[in-house]
Amino acid sequence: MNDGAGFADISPTTLADLLGRAQVMDIGIRPLWDSMPRVAGPAFTVRCPPGDNLMLHAAIHRAGPGSIVVVESGDVDYALAGGNVCAVARRRGIAAFVADGVIRDLAEVREMGFPVFARGVIPIPGTKAAVTPLDTRVRCGGVDVDPGDIVVADEEGIVVVPGARRKRVLLDARRRSAAEAAETLTDWETAHRARIDALLTANQPTD
């Protein structure tokens, strides 16, 4: 079961408003092509030392269907994965890769439609030598990610919902989204002007 399924219709912008900056990955980790669909799912976490991709290659055979493989690497000199790795991940039901690093074979990955959020593309692969534990806390894009945290990613950015808070956050996000959908632009404009005017008054410099 994909614990993140309920988050698929929630925008990262809504989640960011609720969770704050600490749960939002930095802007360097982006969808690698335009019009990539939103993905949401529980994190399966991987740590790859710079220049090595062994554990990501191991993870695609161990991560469950619907999971998002989140990779701590911080290396942009060697690719973590290529077309075949992404194809196997897709066939096994993995929802996406979110990688603090780079991949290769972009045309293949784009054509198959496997979502990858990463720092970019480079043609040279990493080595396969370093064994590190799978599914432990990692740091990706400036955010600590634990196994089972819910990752929501699209063109707006990537938000990590702590697993222990996912039910409350989902409920609050649905309420917020419903309220925003019911609000007309005129309603928003009126409330916005009143709020901004009040802030201008409250923050007016004094002599």
Residue 33 corresponds to which tokens in the numbers above?
Answer: 């092509």
Q: Please name the amino acid found at residue 21.
A: R
- Report the C-alpha gap between 96 and 68 in whole angstroms: 5
141 annotated ligand-binding residue: no
Number of Cβ within 10 Å of residue 132's Cβ equals 15
**Terminus-to-terminus CA distance in the chain, angstroms?**
61
- Closest to 118 (Cα-Cα) out of 66, 163, 161, 153: 153
Residue 15 corresponds to which tokens in the numbers above?
Answer: 């989640």
- Report the C-alpha gap between 14 and 10 in whole angstroms: 7
- Report the C-alpha gap between 47 and 192 in whole angstroms: 44
104 annotated ligand-binding residue: yes
84 annotated ligand-binding residue: yes
105 annotated ligand-binding residue: yes
Q: Is 188 exposed, middle or buried (0-12, 13-18, 19+ CB in 10 A)?
A: exposed
Are the CB atoms for 55 and 47 separated by under 8 Å?
yes
83 annotated ligand-binding residue: yes
Annotation: binding site for substrate: 82-85, 104
Annotation: binding site for Mg(2+): 105
Annotation: binding site: 82-85, 104-105
